[in-house]
Amino acid sequence: MQKNRGVNELSIRSQLLKGILDGCVLAIIEREEVYGYELSQKLQHFGLKDISEGTIYPVLLRLQKSKWVVGTMRPSDSGPNRKYYSLTAEGQENLELIRSEWESLSSPITKILRGDEDAANR
């Protein structure tokens, strides 16, 4: 039974992350241009330890197709060229929308999940 519970926890975490990962990626790219591996390292630094490069590259590709980010090949000091990603104006607009929606959703959801009855009766 315990083994099955672990699978469910991973599945729930994965589903929750899918919903907000684009916003997290855009927010990091907003701060500075990054390449894929560097992006996965930054996400892990923030505590998203299970975000691998294999997860990041499909997200970057989708964001690029949506014209929210643009990739530029640049030489690397340590090996082959790297593709650095930067935010487009459309990406910045969508990041602001994601932030706004997150703010409006995160507080009530947290209250509901914590069982804050006082908040429900206001």
Evaluate whether residue 4 is within a structural domain: no
Q: What is the CATH number for 62?
A: 1.10.10.10
Q: Cα–Cα distances in Å, from 15 out to 97, 109, 121?
A: 20, 16, 30
Evaluate whether residue 44 is within a structural domain: yes
Per the structure, the complete domain to which residue 84 belongs is given by 21-120
What does DSSP assign to residue 69? E
103-120: per-residue pLDDT in tens? 999 999 999 999 987 655
77-102: per-residue pLDDT in tens? 888 999 999 999 999 999 999 999 99
46-69: per-residue pLDDT in tens? 999 888 888 899 999 999 999 999
Q: Is the dihedral of CA 13, 14, 15, 19 positive or negative?
A: positive
Q: Is the dihedral of CA 101, 102, 106, 109 positive or negative?
A: positive
Evaluate whether residue 114 is within a structural domain: yes
R_g over Cα of the chain: 17
Evaluate whether residue 14 is within a structural domain: no
Q: State in Å, rounded, how far the first CA of the chain is from the last one.
A: 40
Evaluate whether residue 16 is within a structural domain: no
Bridge partners, 71 (sequence order): 85
Number of domains in the chain: 1
Evaluate whether residue 11 is within a structural domain: no
Evaluate whether residue 3 is within a structural domain: no
Confidence of residue 1 (pLDDT cuts 50, 70, 90): very low
Which pair of structure tokens corresponds to residue 37?
């591996």
Side chain identity at residue 101, one-letter code: E
Evaluate whether residue 74 is within a structural domain: yes
